[in-house]
Amino acid sequence: MKIAILATDNTMVSGIYGLFDVFFAANFCIETRYGKNSLQKLDYQIVTINDEPVKGYNGIDIKPTVSIKAFKSPDVVITSANAKIVIGCCDSAIDYPFKEQITSYLKDSHSKGAILASYCTGSFMIAATGLLAGKSATTHWRVFEMFRKLYPFTRLETDNLIVDNGDTICSGGALSYVDMALHIVSRFVSKDISSDCAKLLVFDPIREKQSPYVSFQQQKDHNDQPILKAQEYIESHYKNDISMDELAQRVGLGSRTFKRRFKLATHENPINYLQRIRVEQAKQKLEKTTESINKIIWSVGYEDISSFRQLFKRFTGLTPKDYRQKFAA
């Protein structure tokens, strides 16, 4: 099986060489389980679009291990993460060196049967080909809104760490290249080898969600002034019992119009927006204080402790107790 790891300028260097290490470990596990002459071993190479070294975001050069033209007909092409996209998360467009050539290479590889895979913001490169239209994808949580604006015909699965459409595979944050690589090993070699590899790397393979890592980004990049006022009111009074009908009146809108415009501007309905603000406040207190969980729940405006625990788990994938254990300072 041939895997082309496409390195691009401003990429996360650890992702490129990390993929190399994971696939090397997978081959070791294949040899250990099936012998040195096993036919299942992976042929993985680093390629660049013009066969020249690229400069990673941290300034380190990444050299191709083989010419992109010589490494013909890969079974999988992995697009690398561009750190500048994450840093410039509010940009209205994205650009990177050799964009047209990269897009052409990905489309040509796909037409010849290659599966296109990405980690972190590499999904933007696949989306630029048009091959994610009508399909699902994921990317780094920090750039969800930008991805939605640029590629509105792709269903963004914000909670999932890995989204596999068959011919495309996307994974979430910067270090999700490990999850994605193990997913590829599991799908194309075997689950046993993927498990062996995870154990060898001392890596937890049961990471299906990126929701525990997501910070709620209040969408305010719109010009609907009444909705901006409503957002500011919710953020200032989240501890209180807020009536959405009364809030609509406060900003000078009818109830149905308010709900429709709120959803259009923020991608959330007003109740959901309030809930997410409360959960975000609870997360910060769980991370930074030693207050009891019940006290924290009361402090963000909930009387029903059981209901809030369920709400918290729906948004984060973890109970408040598990979240504190994982992220407490």
Q: What does the alpha-carbon distance between residue 179 and residue 204 come to, in Å, rounded to a whole number?
A: 9
Q: Which amino acid is at 104?
A: S
Residue ranges per domain, the chain? 2-211, 225-327
Q: Is 165:136 a contact under the CB 8 Å cutoff? A: yes
For residue 51, what pLDDT is reported? 97
pLDDT tens, residue by residue, 206-265:
566 665 666 676 778 788 999 999 999 999 999 999 999 999 999 999 999 999 999 999
For residue 223, what pLDDT is reported? 86
Does position 205 have pLDDT exceeding 70, yes or no? no
Mention the CATH class of domain 225-327: mainly alpha
The reply to whether domains 2-211 and 225-327 share a CATH topology is no
Q: Which of 116-120, 147-151, 219-223, 290-294 has the lowest mean pLDDT?
A: 219-223
For residue 217, what pLDDT is reported? 67
Share of the chain above pLDDT 70, in %: 93
Q: What does the alpha-carbon distance between residue 52 and residue 277 come to, in Å, rounded to a whole number?
A: 47
Q: From 199, 139, 202, 191, select the one nearest 168 (Cα to Cα).
A: 139
Q: Which of 75-84, 90-99, 247-256 has the lowest mean pLDDT?
A: 90-99
At the topology level of CATH, where does 2-211 sit?
Rossmann fold (3.40.50)
Give the dihedral of Cα atoms 150, 152, 157, 161; nearest 10 deg: -20
The tokens for 65 are 């291990």
For residue 204, what pLDDT is reported? 75
